[in-house]
Structure 1
Amino acid sequence: MSTTFAPSSPAVSPTGPAKPVIRRASDVSDLVNRGAAAGSNARIVVAIALGGVFLDAYDLGALAFGLKDVAREFSLTPAGTGLVASAITFGAIFGAFFGGFLTDKIGRYRVFMADMFFFVVAALACAFAPNAWVLGGARFVMGLGVGIDLPVAMAFLAEFSRLSGRGNKASRIATWCPVWYAAISISYLLVLGFYSTLPASHSGLLWRLILGFGAVPALIIIAVRSRYISESPVWAANQGDLEGAARILKRSYGIDADVVQDADAADRAPARTASWRNYGALLRGVYLKRTVLATVTGIASAFAYNAVAFGLPVIISSFLAQSMLTTILASLALNLGFAFVGGLIAVRIVPTVGAWKLTVLGYTLQLIALVGLAIVGRPASTPEVVAAVALLATFLLGQGVGPGSHTMTFASLSYPTSLRGVGVGFNQTLMRASSAASLFLFPVLAAALNTRVFWIIAFAPLCGLLALLAVRWEPSGYDVDAEDFPVNA
């Protein structure tokens, strides 16, 4: 017996073009897969969702340059410094796990409307923190917002995008990568601006200003989202609310569809009821291999990237032995010139090349770069400095082209709408655990091993490559949402 997916036929009108008809949830998914009408709000919804990703990246990376000042101001040990740095990631672990469930349970719109307040409150608390305990606690709350936001943001990107062609689901999800690096680069620019304008006597305020600024984009998103953002039409249809899905399609997609009122009860029932048991569904059947692939590549990417990117200012300053200004400019140039550009390249070519091949390429570049950095060690001459910086650039280019862009593609497009929230939430929970370990261990390992730490970091892309070679799953262009609506042919 074969399994197929049959969309309803459009209504035939004697006076004009055929009007789409919605009889079941799969019809809504099919309309979304075809793409939005010109002038619709779908792209604005995607942009707002990416705004949440921007906040995630900004808040995670904002403390990179100020960590030494925090340690000095609060007299922190290396272990205490690691705890403050990783507090946001510990918060993200819990936020992702519960946020993934809530995204499937109460909807994408409600979760997104709530989580921005975490960013505002936590950013202001960080800026005025009187001690390390308050700073760490505020960073933990900020992490809750980050963890909650990623599942809902990925759901919006997947469920407001077409299936194939330019700007398809894989391409839209990969856009999170250049947005991430843009946020990191903007944090560097802010550091540069504040560093250049603050009097030397007030240089200790730099980290407070950078962290507090995170409240500004969050307030902007809060101000504009209620006007443009809607519930995911596919999620609404999955809950049996075909009329609500039709209204969302008209408002956000510019598609005016008729709902057939005499649809069977089975067509109105939820495709899969949201439940904590759905986390177990990720480890059964066809989803087991996809979950293993998404998890291993995600953990490997998070561990390697956080160790290198968060430690980038420290690494560059040790290579170049230059001033803070040189370190800022070099970090900015590397992120914009290689990680950001690599992400843009991935967005452009993933519809034709595929996420699997690009991720293999990215991990290969990273493995070569990390082994090279370990061999070079601490550069003692100008050619060695050039080689070390080139290897850092190669690592960041590989991150942008490969795992940085597509680990979220594997996590988001390996599961249909009914499992997407818990799928991304599960993936992010384990990724954030890897990030927490990386952020906590990197200062300790770097202090003990110096540049030999790159040998340890190199195991991450190696594991990612082995997982990709073992599970050859290509999510780009595959209609995974149709798995919610199987019908017997």
Structure 2
Amino acid sequence: MSTVAIPSASVDAPAGHAEAAVPVLIRSAQDVSRIVNAGAAKGSNARIVIAIALGGVFLDAYDLTSLAYGIKDIAKQFALTPVQVGFVSSAITFGAILGALFGGYLTDRIGRYRVFMADMLFFVVAAIAAGLAPNAWVLGAARFLMGFGVGLDLPVAMAFLAEFSRVAGKGNKAASVASWCPAWYAATSTCYLLILGLYAILPEQHLGWLWRLTLAFGAVPALAIILVRSRYISESPVWAANQGDLEGAARILKRTYGVDAIVERAAVTATSASEPRRASWRNYGVLFNSTYRRRTILAAVIGSASSFGYNAIIFGLPVIITSFFAQGPLTTIVASLTLNLLFAFVGGLIGVRTAPTVGAWKMTVLGHALQFVSLIGLALIGRPSGGALVAAAILLLGGYLFGQGFGPGSHSMTYASLSYPTSLRGIGVGFNQTLVRTASTISLFLFPVLAGALGTKVFWVIAIAPLTSLLVLLAIRWEPSGYDIDGEDYRPVEPAPARAGACSCR
């Protein structure tokens, strides 16, 4: 049987094509990374792995959104004060802070597959417990546990998306990671569709069950993912190779990537001169060395600003729409669903499509600019009194969500995931999500309090978030799309190639 050895400097024939049926020889983790960067073979399971990883993102979004509509009923049923409402609302993000801190480390330490399977169990248990909660304390604890699962999931989901995608061209790493955004909005829309369906079929005297059923439904997709895990999900081949398991990486490439890889026997015991960094708590400090400091700051600001503003808007959307229309819950549900589908979801699809061509930096700048203008418009309108002003306010809300979709919504994770190579990706995303979830917690806690005290003037406060991120983006012009970030594990760090309108950043 003939084999094709992968050159030490380049891959002449990309393994991602159907003609790569001839076995390829791998000698190092760098060879495995090059195979992945070239793209999966046609008919492989790589896209299914990406879809399942997005299923985890779907669960994250669903669980974070599912309380938004029912919080008023919960407050009434459990006789909660505004401060108590803030604590119940933010319990999930308190859990996500801890989950991200530990999840990032564990994703790099024990692997992507094990962490992914563990967080699915968190979702099942927490969703059922939340749906059956007899009081606010149990509900808050269940939401905290659910948040811990969310925190665990995002670092590993982003690792799967980045490490099962090509480095350049259509469907590259940036596009795959950005696809977390439409998946998020699809979950948000699904949540509102479920609420709408339950609202239609539940008798009026049992509408108090609506929030319970919505929360408990989160266990269903988690169970579905658990059931299909053994057939399609596997460890990241690049992570396995970085741990020195070239044989395991070769098996994963053959099973999931459609590449018949064979390990050169001498490579099994060889020690690479550029061995990738091992997982360690000290790697959190590496995020602030001369290579990664500016990237870390940029990713943190984009993610935190995006999360603070978006959580305030999306959580407060039912309340905001109710104040605009001054009508019943059905109008509120339909309007929230329509805004998510027409603006946020469509924007997310545009973010995915433009990631390989326009890039993440330009789209994030445009998105934040649109958000800032929309929030200033909402603050100036205040509580609309006429039909024209109501229409303008709704369009401005849609503009904010549209800008979120194609801009920071898509690319906050692009920056968090693709600013670091495989050896640092879990830690990098985990640290980023710790800051992001802190911003979410502050936002979810403060919004009910600020909205009660300021009314529609709260939009002036929210507008500070996109403005801050916009200024930092103009100062740090790092473009991760199309750059071989995983190559930094195997060579001295070199500046990323500059793109139009965005310089490289070290």
The TM-score normalised by the length of structure 1 is 0.96
What is the CA distance between 1:260 and its match in structure 2?
Answer: 1.1
**Structure 1 residue 113 and structure 2 residue 154: aligned?**
no
Listed as ranges, the matches of 1:190-229 within 5 Å are 190-229=194-233
1:335 to 324, 327, 340: 340
Change (3 A) 1:219 1:457: same
Q: Which residue of 1 aligns with 2:398?
A: 393
Partner of 1:277: 282
Equivalent residue of 1:311, what SS? helix
Show CA shifts across 1:38-95 (max 9, x none): 1111011001000000000000000111000000111100000010010000000000
- Over 3 Å counting, the alpha-carbon distance change for 1:352 and 1:8 in structure 2 is closer
Using the TM superposition, give the Cα deviation of residue 19 of structure 1 relative to its aligned residue in structure 2, in angstroms. Answer: 3.4
Which residue, 269, 292, 295 being the options, matches 1:290?
295
Following superposition, the deviation at residue 269 of structure 1 comes to: 8.1
2:9 pairs with 6, 9, 12, which one? 6
For residues 228 and 360 of structure 1, the distance between their equivalents in structure 2, rounded to whole angstroms, comes to 37
**Equivalent in 315, 329, 332 of residue 310 of structure 1:** 315
Q: For residue 460 of structure 1, what is the aligned residue in structure 2? A: 465
Query: What whole-Å deviation, never above 9, does each CA across 1:270-293 have from its counterpart, x for those lacking one?
Result: 511100000010011110000000
1:70-469 mapped onto 2 (5 Å cutoff)? 70-263=74-267, 265-267=270-272, 270-469=275-474
Q: Which amino acid aligns with 1:23?
A: R
Question: Shift in Å at residue 374 of structure 1?
Answer: 0.3
- The Cα of 1:262 is off from its aligned counterpart by 1.2
SS at match of 2:235: coil
- Label 1:268 to 1:149 Cα distance change in 2 as closer, same or farther (>3 A): farther
| Unmatched tracts of structure 2, length 5 or more | 1-7, 14-19, 495-506
Q: State the Cα deviation string for residues 310-346 of structure 1 (Å, max 9, x = none).
A: 1001000101111110111011000000000000011
2-structure distance, mates of 1:142, 1:270: 37
1:7 deviation in Å? 4.1
Is the contact made by 1:240 and 1:267 (CA closer than 8 Å) also made in structure 2? no
Contact 1:239 1:269 in 2 (8 A): no
Paired position in structure 2 for 1:471:
476
SS in 2 for 1:40: coil
CA distance in 1 between counterparts of 2:126 and 2:413 reads 25
Query: Aligned AA for 1:483?
Result: E
Paired residues of 1:116 and 1:145 also in contact (CA < 8 A) = yes
Taking the aligned partners of 1:404 and 1:461, their CA distance within structure 2 comes to 12
Q: For the structure 1 residues 488 and 114, does the alpha-carbon distance in structure 2 shift closer, same or farther, using more than 3 Å as the test?
A: closer
One-letter code aligned to 2:127? A
Which SS does the other structure have where 2:40 is aligned?
Answer: coil
DSSP-derived class of the 1:415 partner: coil
**Greater CA drift, 267-276 or 34-43:** 267-276
How many equivalent pairs are there? 481
SS at structure 2 position matched to 1:161:
coil
Q: 1:32 aligns with which of 20, 33, 36?
A: 36
Q: Distance in 2 between matches of 1:9 and 1:275?
A: 35
**Post-superposition offset of 1:185:** 0.4
The Cα offsets for residues 113-159 of structure 1, whole Å up to 9 and x where unpaired, read as 11100000000000110100000000000000000000000000000
Aligned letter for 1:55? L
Query: Does the CA-based 8 Å contact 2:275-2:490 persist in structure 1?
Result: no
Question: How many angstroms apart in 2 are the aligned matches of 1:313 and 1:6?
Answer: 55
Q: Do the aligned partners of 1:163 and 1:169 also contact (CA within 8 Å) in 2?
A: yes
Percent identity between matched residues is 68
**Equivalent position of 2:5 in the other structure:** none
Q: Distance in 2 between matches of 1:226 and 1:92?
A: 26
Post-superposition offset of 1:349: 1.3
CA displacement, residues 418-454 of structure 1 (integer Å, 9 cap, x when unaligned): 0000000000000000000000000000000000000
| CA distance in 1: counterparts of 2:225 and 2:173, whole angstroms | 23
- Asked if residue 42 in structure 1 is aligned to residue 46 in structure 2, the reply is yes
CA distance in 2, matches of 1:449, 1:86: 20
Q: Would you identify which runs of 4 or more consecutive aligned residues in structure 1 move more than 3 Å?
A: 7-10, 16-19
* Deviations, residues 331-389 of structure 1 (Å, cap 9, x unaligned): 10000000000000111111000000000000000000000000000001111111100
Write the distance in 1 (CA, Å) between the matches of 2:351 and 2:464: 24
Asked if structure 2 preserves the Cα contact closer than 8 Å seen for 1:239 and 1:268, the reply is no
Alignment partner of 1:21: what SS? strand
Q: Partners in 1 of 2:324 and 2:235 — Cα distance?
A: 49
Shift of the alpha carbon at 1:18?
5.2
Supply the distance in 1 between the matched residues of 2:209 and 2:40 (Cα, whole angstroms).
46
SS at match of 1:345: helix
1:68 maps onto 2:72 in alignment: yes
Matches of 2:309 and 2:172, distance apart in 1:
28
| Equivalent-residue separation in structure 2 for 1:213 and 1:306 (angstroms) | 21
Summarize deviations over 1:384-437 as a string: whole Å, max 9, x none.
Answer: 111100100100000001000000000000000000000000000000000000
> Which position in structure 2 is the counterpart of 1:13?
none
Post-superposition Cα deviations, 1:296-318, rounded to whole Å, max 9, x if no partner, equal 01000000000011100100010
Is the Cα–Cα contact under 8 Å of residues 274 and 489 in structure 2 kept in the other structure? no
Instruction: Report if aligned partners of 2:21, 2:260 keep a CA contact under 8 Å in 1.
Output: no
CA-based RMSD of the aligned residues comes to 1.6
Report the Cα offset of residue 17 of structure 1. Answer: 7.0
TM-score normalised by length of structure 2:
0.93
Tell me by how many angstroms 1:6 deviates: 2.5
CA shift at 1:258, angstroms? 1.8
What's the secondary structure of 1:410's corresponding residue?
Answer: helix
**1:399 & 1:201 partners in 2: Cα distance?**
38
Q: From the superposition, tell whether residues 131 and 21 of structure 1 become closer, same or farther in structure 2 (CA, over 3 Å).
A: same
Query: For structure 1, which runs of at least 5 residues remain unmatched after alignment?
Result: 11-15
CA distance in 1, matches of 2:145, 2:284: 24
- State the alpha-carbon separation in 2 of the partners of residues 348 and 414 from structure 1: 20
In the TM superposition, residue 265 of structure 1 has moved relative to its aligned partner by 2.9
1:419 counterpart letter in structure 2: L
- Kindly tell me: are residues 193 and 18 of structure 1, through their superposed partners in 2, closer, same or farther at Cα, counting changes over 3 Å? closer
Once the 2 structures are TM-superposed, how far is the Cα of residue 266 of structure 1 from its aligned partner? 2.2
